Structure 1
């Protein structure tokens, strides 16, 4: 009887402790976080490029999906976004290969509000940053601006969901986004090193665009089936052979990822296994 009583007290204590430390559906806690593609190697990294868009296009919209956490909102609830400073640790190694020091540095070329994107507190954003009562999912925008600086440089916007007067930021891993903005050829976040037989390079990407007429951006890459990939690998290899033959007639070396590196000849696999 005593053992049963002790066990009951332990269970009751654990339940109380859980309710006090973990926000849940019964606590009244209301949060919101991004819905990410968990199959991606970098699910919170996105890319947008104005390349291939109408030359008169001055701004565009990148949409993100959010989902409420905890209790569903009972009224229109404001979602708050904020830019944060992207940083990284740089490690210094000694002659023995061990870390001797480290420095936290601010990442270069970070997007500027009003130049590369519309500020999150701009009135154009207000109507979209809302979660309606009972809504299970919502799409919210980032409005990107076509600034001249993007023509030769990719700028990165680091932003996250912040606590608003209505909603708390959800899990940190699902509340931060990295958005690369460009108006030049840049690596899409969906780039697949295995499929393309190598890491991203401007030469490789420009060749793929030139011979297929496709932009090879995130949307296009993610739409490909295995059959599509095999078809495009056939096209890449066929056109690469033709181009290298023409280059040989002109006394030029085969197309290279780095024109100054003779060991960087451009190649593609012949079969896509996934």
Structure 2
């Protein structure tokens, strides 16, 4: 009985000690943060690509993309009115994360301004969830046919939520309406990239060869082998049809091939 009493006493003391060391529950406003993409490393920059060229319809004049947003520290107990701030990304601390061949997007021309009533009504983070997404409305402008623009924005101060890692917690959206190299283009299987080559691939397949299409094909070795073989055979026939006007070339005169790049 004596030993049993000592064991119970020791257990109570351990529990009391642990409860004193256990950190207090966070009870402040939740922190909001843009989660990083697969290539984010330690730099909080999330990137999205949107190209109206692949929609195949000139009548499409806007598109909505959804950017993931997470809460931590606490779950929002009420809906959060999310505030965003677009900025000139030439001032980024890590300029290598931005495509320098692009230009800063213009509000009202390339995207619906965040301070507009339309966006204020849409930029909401739901209550009682740890993960949500917010809409960004992109606009199709004639300038996108010549230049790729970039919309760079970050979280701004909000009434009932805090901004986490605001220095580098940013999103970059690239917007275009012209043929352009998919970010995950595979040089090993498709060779050096070219606009004429990509246009040939689109016209000789059932795909638009967007980043999503490329990811699907590259993840399936049989499908990848099929398309590589098909493009080589189709290009051979196409060059024969061109005759003395061939072979197929890029704008700078480079001959289009699907030879592997070593």
TM-score range, shorter chain: 0.7 to 0.9
Q: 1:51 to 1:80 in 2, by over 3 A?
A: same
CA deviation after TM superposition for structure 1 residue 175, in Å: 2.6
Partners of 2:108 and 2:237 lie apart in 1 by: 46
Provide the residue aligned with 1:81 in structure 2: 84
* Alpha carbons of structure 1 residues 209 and 173: separation in structure 2 relative to 1, 3 Å: farther
Instruction: Confirm whether residue 210 of structure 1 aligns to residue 213 of structure 2.
Output: no
Residue in structure 2 matched with residue 48 of structure 1 by the alignment: 50
1:135 aligns with 2:137: no
Deviations 1:177-203 (A, max 9, x none): 2211111112333434444323x4212
Q: Is the 8 A contact 1:110 1:157 kept in 2?
A: yes
Per the alignment, do residues 112 and 65 of structure 1 end up closer, same or farther by CA in structure 2, a change over 3 Å counting?
same
Is the partner of 1:87 in helix, strand or coil?
helix
The corresponding residue for 2:139 is 145
- Counterpart for residue 103 of structure 1: none
Q: Which residue in 2 is equivalent to 1:157?
A: 151
- The answer to which structure has the higher helix fraction is 2
Q: Structure 2 vs 1, CA of residues 25 and 152 (structure 1 numbering), >3 Å: closer, same or farther?
A: farther
Aligned to 1:183: 177
TM-score (norm 1): 0.71
SS in 2 for 1:212: coil
Q: Aligned in 2, Cα 1:107/1:182: closer, same or farther, shift over 3 Å?
A: closer
Gaps of at least 5 residues in structure 2 are 1-20, 93-99
Which residue is 1:99 aligned to? none
Q: 1:194 to 1:46 in 2, by over 3 A?
A: farther
Q: Which residue of 1 aligns with 2:258?
A: 268
Q: 1:244 to 1:67 in 2, by over 3 A?
A: same
Change (3 A) 1:130 1:257: same
Aligned length: 228
1:68 aligned partner: 71
Instruction: Tell me what 1:10 maps to.
Output: none
Report which stretch shifted further, 205-214 or 251-260: 251-260
**Structure 2 CA distance for aligned equivalents of residues 145 and 159 of structure 1:** 16
CA RMSD of aligned residues (A): 3.1
Matched, 1:232 2:235: no
Query: Is 1:32 aligned with 2:22?
Result: no
Secondary structure of 2:147's counterpart equals: coil
* Conserved? CA contact 1:49–1:181, under 8 Å: yes
Shift of the alpha carbon at 1:67? 1.2
More strand by share: 1
The alignment's TM-score, normalised by the length of structure 2, stands at: 0.74
Alignment-derived partner of residue 245 in structure 2: 252
State the alpha-carbon separation in 2 of the partners of residues 259 and 252 from structure 1.
15
Alignment of 1:100-115 (within 5 A): 109-115=103-109
Instruction: Verify the 8 A CA contact 2:125 2:134 in the aligned structure 1.
Output: no
Q: Larger Rg: 1 or 2?
A: 2
Deviations 1:96-142 (A, max 9, x none): xxxxxxxxxx9762110100110111222223322222112112111
